[in-house]
Structure 1
Amino acid sequence: MVQTRGYARLGPDISLYTPEQPKIGQLVIICPSIGIAKTRYVCDYESLYRNSAPRAKILILSPTKSGMLSSYQKQEDAMKPAADAICDILNECDRLQSAVGGSKNSHTRPRILLHAIGNGGFNSATNLLVALERRTKRNLPLVGLICDSAPGGASYTKACRALTYSFITDLTTDFPTGILRWVLVHAVLSIVYLFIAFTRYEAPGAYWRKSILDKKLIDCNKVYYFASIDDKVTDWRDVLSHAKQARQQGWEVKELLYDYTPHCGHIRREKQRINYEDAIYYLWEGKKI
């Protein structure tokens, strides 16, 4: 990913963009999947938010292959720099609220939007939310949540499909390293799912699907889903079933289903980019579309 002026590297895979005139409390959190984390796709998302929310800071959490296979505790610990940045923003809003006599209004409330892309992005978002709740003892206030090409299902087969997606290039151009990584994914997942079978722990996919809607972790009631029938990694029916679950839990839900765009690739088409702009208008500005 090519980073432009205004970015600060907070950690190995965490970057924070600060505009020239940031507005207190405004933040967009982008959690890309492994497959697009180092590509121009992320630049498209950044450009989208720099245009739609020009005074907001942008926090980018890029997952790694090794990180996805590490323990939950290690993944949550890796979120400390991101949690620090978010706590700084929340504290700014608290100080502003105190300065105006403790009144809560649109000028003192944080305006934060979370955009999770693919299962890797969902994993990062979940770890961040858990790390923040443990630190602050409160849920994260959001104006909205975007679930993009995710969440997928929780079965072993679907977990393998999601994790091996990023290894496709390796298998064809980096022999035999790609094969070894593919074997490693299956070996680790086999151990994980065997452990799950004999304990009370949930499969990663089930954990992500539940956590992202957990009011203990997140203070939000608006969510927008993007999915595609042509997605070879995330089954669109899993995305829409999660949308149904959110609606049953009282969320205000909107979903958009394409029929020909690839996994995490909806934004690359001009017509679909307009759909993203509409979603941000709906969530960020709180406007009807």
Structure 2
Amino acid sequence: MPGSSPFPGLQKLSPSVYLWEPPSTHSTAIPTDPPPSPPPKLILLFTWMSAQPVHISKYIHSYQTHYPTSPILLIRSSPLDGLYHRTSTQHRRLTPAVHHLLATLQPTNTTPKPELLIHLFSNGGSLQFSNFLATHRQTTPTPFPPHIKILDSCPGRATFRRTILAFASPLSASPLFIRFPTLLFLYLLLGIYFLAIRLRLLSDPVLRVRETLNEVRQGEERRCYIYSTADPMVGWRDVEAHAVEARERGCKVRRERFGKTGHCAHVREGDGGRYWGVVKGVWEGE
């Protein structure tokens, strides 16, 4: 149900979904210098696992700056989305986002230029996008709309060490008396989890996401991978292998490899100039 939001100016549609709509003044303004390509009619942001509002807000603000007339749907991810929540729970949480997508992008019999920009962050955001696709299929027979996809720091592969880093990163600022027992619990829980995967008692969700991203491509016009050789949580070779497979399957692929940036932190290089130049370039078809 709609409620209070940790993001000023965004409406909370569900525990996972938030909406920003541009002021009406923007929708009626006529730009004096029109961009090379029309702005997205809708932007979908699938953030990394346990991403904090202060970090997410920086991306929201940048998108509002570059595309002030484009609504933004924010879909957050948490550890429970990958380890615990049932499919029915995921669908219930993501249904408001699907309904807004359907209301914003009306189906057409022609093949127009993409009006949807999808931005995925890390394996957590990729997993939520996979859940979103499943919810879309369950909600409507309408084909998924034409779109352009940005894959930031994803997809990787699930290893015990990298998964521990991902789950433990939100604890970095916690007091030692909280961080230490929580880490012990994580080691135990994830040890059991990976043992169950090895014994094939559970499926590997990250492997399933890697397959989904290259198998379910309805409406995708092109995609760009943004990644780094210094990322401790997602291996750059795993990202490049996925990009090669995507190209072999017919995807239009662009790769942007950074050298010194951390996980989901590539925007920090050069004050974001290169990062947002890539996003805008991919949208405009460069």
TM-score normalised over the length of structure 2: 0.82
Q: 2:94 aligns with which of 43, 64, 79?
A: 79
Instruction: Name the amino acid aligned to 2:17.
Output: I
Contact 1:129–1:218 (8 Å) recurs in 2: no
* Residue 183 of structure 1: how far off its partner (Å): 3.3
Aligned length: 269
Instruction: Name the amino acid aligned to 2:179.
Output: G
Q: 1:140 aligns with which of 129, 137, 144?
A: 144
Q: How does 1:1-289 map to 2 (within 5 A)?
A: 3-5=7-9, 7-21=10-24, 22=27, 26-39=41-54, 41-73=55-87, 74-90=89-105, 93-94=106-107, 104=110, 106=112, 111-170=115-174, 173=175, 175-199=176-200, 202-215=203-216, 218-270=218-270, 272-283=272-283, 285=284, 287-288=285-286
* Residue 178 of structure 1: how far off its partner (Å): 2.4
Secondary structure class of the residue paired with 1:12:
coil
Secondary structure class of the residue paired with 1:158:
helix
Greater shift, 76-85 or 110-119, is seen at 76-85
* Residue 200 of structure 1: how far off its partner (Å): 7.6
Contact 2:225–2:243 (8 Å) recurs in 1: yes
Contact 1:159–1:205 (8 Å) recurs in 2: no
State the alpha-carbon separation in 1 of the partners of residues 161 and 194 from structure 2: 11
State the alpha-carbon separation in 1 of the partners of residues 181 and 166 from structure 2: 17
State the alpha-carbon separation in 2 of the partners of residues 139 and 155 from structure 1: 34
Cα offsets for 1:182-203 (capped at 9, x unmatched): 2343344334334334448531
State the alpha-carbon separation in 2 of the partners of residues 205 and 139 from structure 1: 25
Contact 1:155–1:205 (8 Å) recurs in 2: no
Contact 1:14–1:61 (8 Å) recurs in 2: yes
State the alpha-carbon separation in 2 of the partners of residues 266 and 221 from structure 1: 24
Assess, with a 3 A threshold, how the Cα gap between structure 1 residues 117 and 258 changes in structure 2: closer, same or farther. same
State the alpha-carbon separation in 2 of the partners of residues 271 and 223 from structure 1: 23
Secondary structure class of the residue paired with 2:278:
helix
Cα offsets for 1:93-117 (capped at 9, x unmatched): 24xx5xxxxx6364xx761111011
State the alpha-carbon separation in 1 of the partners of residues 245 and 213 from structure 2: 11
Assess, with a 3 A threshold, how the Cα gap between structure 1 residues 192 and 221 changes in structure 2: closer, same or farther. farther
2:33 — aligned with what? none
Q: C-alpha root-mean-square deviation of aligned residues, in Å?
A: 2.8
* Residue 212 of structure 1: how far off its partner (Å): 1.9
Contact 1:145–1:222 (8 Å) recurs in 2: yes
Assess, with a 3 A threshold, how the Cα gap between structure 1 residues 179 and 69 changes in structure 2: closer, same or farther. farther
Contact 1:122–1:150 (8 Å) recurs in 2: yes
TM-score normalised over the length of structure 1: 0.81
Instruction: Name the amino acid aligned to 1:104.
Output: T
Cα offsets for 1:122-167 (capped at 9, x unmatched): 1221211111122223542242111101111133333333323333
